[in-house]
A and B are shown apart, each in its own frame.
Chain A
Amino acid sequence: MKTRIIILSLLMTLCSIFSACENQAVDITVTADITINTASVLAPFIAYDSSDLDMYPDSKVRLTCLLYDAAGALINRQDIALSDFSSSANIQEKIGSQTYTLVVVASCVSGGSLLKPEYEAYSLTGVNNLNTLNIEQIKSDISKVFDSCWQVLGFGIQENLTQSEYEPFMTLKPATALVYMNFRSIHASSNIDLYAIGWTSNNLMTFTQQNAGFSCNVDGIYDECDIEPDRYTSENLYSLFSVFPGECRTVGASFTGNNIVDWKQNSVNVQAGHQYVFQYDCSAAALTIKEGRL
């Protein structure tokens, strides 16, 4: 009797334990192959004058791909060099079972290496965490701004990136608002000048005299912006400023809101001895022009 009970109990227990146990999950990694289209960065602008948005011969587009985990920690960074904003790139990111955020930033660099170029239009700081990521325009190399896409910033974000849901194509959007100055009737040699102006990290685009063409004043400091109204016209000095589409987008500390920058136009009478400051508030989508005497 005792033998029977022991054998029966032992076998039933073993069978029950074995059948009840479920094997644990294994780690799964998916390699997401994503094609990044950068041509879309300049697409909203080239209708006006595409030749004004060429790259400088010694510069290239740096595509920085930052993959963050659910906690916002940087998992992987890839930097790719592209010849210009018309190129596409393929990146492969290994995605685990959690939710990720992929941030792709395209900006211009020149010289040096991709990570340490001699010149760059935008600097990326705080990249180790999504919450500290900061993308800031560098304004030191003014000469590269004029008549080029040097200061253009493209970006793309895939939030809630998972193994089952990721977009195989990422179309970068412009994060730069271009300001177009039409020196109507006050500029004899060229009545159209185009300036690429970036943005700052605090949602406020400030176009000041530090930004290339806007450094003009009516006394004419730069050849490119030699406004001599008295010489060509007796009309009131008149300039038309247009802000072309760009986007403000939330990423960590750098972006807030998701406002598309609509067309904004404004005009001002340019007066000798004055400085003009143009500010664009992404949140309010408002363009303001301030002037002050130099």
Chain B
Amino acid sequence: MKRFFLISLCLLFGSAVGLFAQELSKDDFIASSSSGSSVAMKIGIGAGVNVAGLSSSNSEFPGTGIRPGFNGGVMFNLRFHPRDEMSTAEQGLFAIQPEIRYSTMGGNSSDFKLGLSYLTVPVMFQFYPSANFYIEAGPVMALNTSHTPNTTVINNKQYDLAKLKANDMMLAAGVGFLAGNITIGARFNFGISDIARNMNYKNWCAQAGIIYNFKLKSHEGSGVKKDDVLDL
């Protein structure tokens, strides 16, 4: 069931990427017509705070309290599908935002504390109901980079974490608001994978942060040149 779900997710994700790529290839970064097909690209750097925890459906693993942390990284935003013929891609209805983000997770409880650090690669699909407000969702690939401590005791069992990989596939959803070059956003991540085959904890992490954006490139349907690079 889980495998089916993940495959479906991948297909959905792939379809969305394909849609985007199709949009991208329509004009191949060249304003081809007045149809409004165009892409606005931004790169951003951001940082924020985390509130993370570990959850489990296995009664052997009690849920943890929150573990505060932080996140930070770079984001690449591709916004497309202008709202109408008069608008630009910067005010498009959709965007895809791949990111590379360092994030601390884990969980604290009265019995144990487990800290996990991840290099995450979210690929967020954003929908803009209005020009400056978006809701987003997407998969997050999370590569575990470190953990503390090396052993932990849960319910009288001592877990030797030397072999802990704790890589994760997560789902994320959130909202954000654009104010000029600044994006303020909040996001919730929920892990799909157990952090170890015999340690049935799943990550969850709520994030809030701020991104400063640099415009990279914008191709408008009204005839912007192919190699325009703006405002970097």
Residue B164 is within 8 A (CB to CB) of chain A in the complex: yes
Q: A26-B160, A30-B158 are in contact. Are A4 and B24 (CB under 8 A)?
A: yes
Residue B10 is within 8 A (CB to CB) of chain A in the complex: yes
Cβ 8 A contact of A31, one of B17, B123, B156, B196: B156
B10 touches A4 (CB 8 A): no
Residue B198 is within 8 A (CB to CB) of chain A in the complex: yes
B residues near A94, Cβ cutoff 8 Å:
158
Among the 9-residue stretches A7-15, A54-62, A267-275, the one with 4 or more Cβ atoms under 8 Å from chain B is A7-15
A7 touches B141 (CB 8 A): no
Query: Would you give the shortest CB distance from A137 to chain B, in whole angstroms?
Result: 39
A11 touches B123 (CB 8 A): yes
B residues near A234, Cβ cutoff 8 Å:
none
Which of A23, A24, A28, A163 has the most chain B CB within a 10 Å cutoff?
A23
A residues near B14, Cβ cutoff 8 Å:
8, 11-12, 15
Q: A19-B169, A25-B196, A28-B198 are in contact. Are A12 and B163 (CB under 8 A)?
A: no
B13 touches A15 (CB 8 A): yes
A24 touches B165 (CB 8 A): yes
How far, in angstroms, from A198 to B162 measured CA to CA in the complex? 48
| B contact residues, range | 35 or more
Residue B199 is within 8 A (CB to CB) of chain A in the complex: yes
B6 touches A163 (CB 8 A): no
A3 touches B24 (CB 8 A): yes
Query: Would you give the shortest CB distance from B65 to chain A, in whole angstroms?
Result: 22
How far, in angstroms, from A3 to B20 measured CA to CA in the complex? 11
Closest A residue to B10 using CB positions: A15
Residue A16 is within 8 A (CB to CB) of chain B in the complex: yes
Query: Would you give the shortest CB distance from B33 to chain A, in whole angstroms?
Result: 19
Residue A27 is within 8 A (CB to CB) of chain B in the complex: yes
B residues near A18, Cβ cutoff 8 Å:
141, 167, 169
A residues near B163, Cβ cutoff 8 Å:
24-27
Q: A4-B18, A18-B141, A24-B163 are in contact. Are A30 and B157 (CB under 8 A)?
A: yes
B residues near A25, Cβ cutoff 8 Å:
163, 196-199
Residue A1 is within 8 A (CB to CB) of chain B in the complex: yes
Q: How many A-B residue pairs have CB under 8 A?
A: 100
Residue B27 is within 8 A (CB to CB) of chain A in the complex: no
Q: A7-B17, A23-B196, A26-B196 are in contact. Are A15 and B160 (CB under 8 A)?
A: no
Cβ 8 A contact of A28, one of B11, B139, B157, B162: B157
Query: Would you give the shortest CB distance from A98 to chain B, in whole angstroms?
Result: 14
Among the 9-residue stretches B68-76, B103-111, B187-195, B222-230, the one with 4 or more Cβ atoms under 8 Å from chain A is B187-195
B residues near A19, Cβ cutoff 8 Å:
3, 6-7, 9-10, 169, 192-193
How far, in angstroms, from A7 to B17 measured CA to CA in the complex? 8
How far, in angstroms, from A28 to B158 measured CA to CA in the complex? 6
Which of B3, B21, B161, B193 has the most chain A CB within a 10 Å cutoff?
B21
Return the CB mask of B6-41 against A: 1 if under 8 Å, else 0.
110111011001100110110000000000000000
How far, in angstroms, from A166 to B213 measured CA to CA in the complex? 60
Return the CB mask of B48-77 against A: 1 if under 8 Å, else 0.
000000000000000000000000000000
Residue B112 is within 8 A (CB to CB) of chain A in the complex: no
A23 touches B166 (CB 8 A): yes
A residues near B18, Cβ cutoff 8 Å:
4, 8
Return the CB mask of B191-227 against A: 1 if under 8 Å, else 0.
0111111110000000000000000000000000000
B residues near A47, Cβ cutoff 8 Å:
none
A31 touches B158 (CB 8 A): yes
Query: Would you give the shortest CB distance from A112 to chain B, in whole angstroms?
Result: 35
Closest A residue to B165 using CB positions: A23
Return the CB mask of A148-170 against B: 1 if under 8 Å, else 0.
00000000000000010000000
B residues near A12, Cβ cutoff 8 Å:
10-11, 13-14, 17
B residues near A7, Cβ cutoff 8 Å:
17, 21
B25 touches A4 (CB 8 A): yes
B residues near A31, Cβ cutoff 8 Å:
156, 158
B159 touches A26 (CB 8 A): yes
* A188-233 residues at the B interface, CB under 8 angstroms: none
A26 touches B167 (CB 8 A): no
Pick the 8 closest A-B CB pairs, nearest first.
A4-B21, A19-B6, A27-B160, A25-B197, A12-B14, A29-B158, A25-B198, A15-B10
- 18 A-B pairs with CB atoms under 8 Å apart are A1-B25, A3-B24, A8-B17, A12-B13, A14-B121, A16-B7, A19-B6, A19-B169, A19-B192, A22-B197, A25-B198, A26-B159, A26-B199, A27-B160, A27-B162, A28-B157, A28-B159, A30-B156
Q: Other than the known A19-B169, A22-B194, A31-B156, what 4 A-B pairs have Cβ atoms closer than 8 Å?
A: A3-B24, A4-B22, A23-B193, A26-B199
